[in-house]
Chain A
Amino acid sequence: MSTLHTVNKSPFERANLDACLGHALPGDAILLIEDGVFAAMKATNLAARMTDAAKTFKLYALAADLKARGMDPANVVDGCTVVDYAGFVDLAAANSAVNAWL
């Protein structure tokens, strides 16, 4: 049993990422999509926290949403894996439930 969590809000605007990190269980997957992808960037003041989170959870960011926003997939925090939509589908299939932090 593991869960795929999706977070689609910028951490600079809303607390959805905090809520997700507060409720995900060790080993769960967290996928950042839409405005949620900003949390994956290593230049932000969240980077240390996200690098740390990537040690407890499997951290992912959606390539299409990074690219849409001019964020270079090469500049995500250590431990964060960039996936395409096919990868998103694989993550949903590989985990037993999906929790969208809307």
Chain B
Amino acid sequence: MKFGILVNEGPYNHQASDSAYQFAKAALEKGHEIYRVFFYYDGVYNANKFGEPPTDDRNVTRNWQKLAEQYKLDMVVCVAAGLRRGIVDSTLAEGFRISGLGQLIEAGIQADRLMAFGD
């Protein structure tokens, strides 16, 4: 089965991104496909390359990067939501790409299920 994942909140402030990550990881480990992970609203902050949490805590951005690398995930940051919040090419972490909101709608159409995680 193909899942689309929508992340609506930034890392750390809210559990949404952690939940989305755990769900995506479990789905991939069960042999499902993740069509795309889309970051919207404050969710774009997950792609901030300057985030540096204390070393005894998880690094949410790095978790996503590692998962994306292992499973060749398509991780898309909304261009408009990113511009509003300063997540642009120069601040974007590796493994993420910036594109339009149409990529979310497309994921809704192409994926069998669209999973939203937010506040």
Closest B residue by C-beta to A88: B23
A85 within 8 A of B: yes
Tell me the B3-38 residues at the A interface (CB within 8 Å).
3, 8, 15-16, 19, 22-23, 25-27, 29-30, 32
CB pair A89 B32 closer than 8 Å: yes
By the criterion CB–CB under 8 Å, are B115 and A100 in contact?
A: yes
How many A-B residue pairs have C-beta atoms within 8 angstroms? Tell me: 46
Check B22 against A85 for contact (C-beta < 8 Å): yes
Is A47 close to B, CB under 8 A? no
A64 in the interface, Cβ–Cβ < 8 Å?
yes
- Give B91-119 as 1s and 0s: 1 = Cβ < 8 Å from A's Cβ atoms: 00000000000000000000011111111
Contact pick for A98, options B19, B22, B115, CB 8 Å: B115
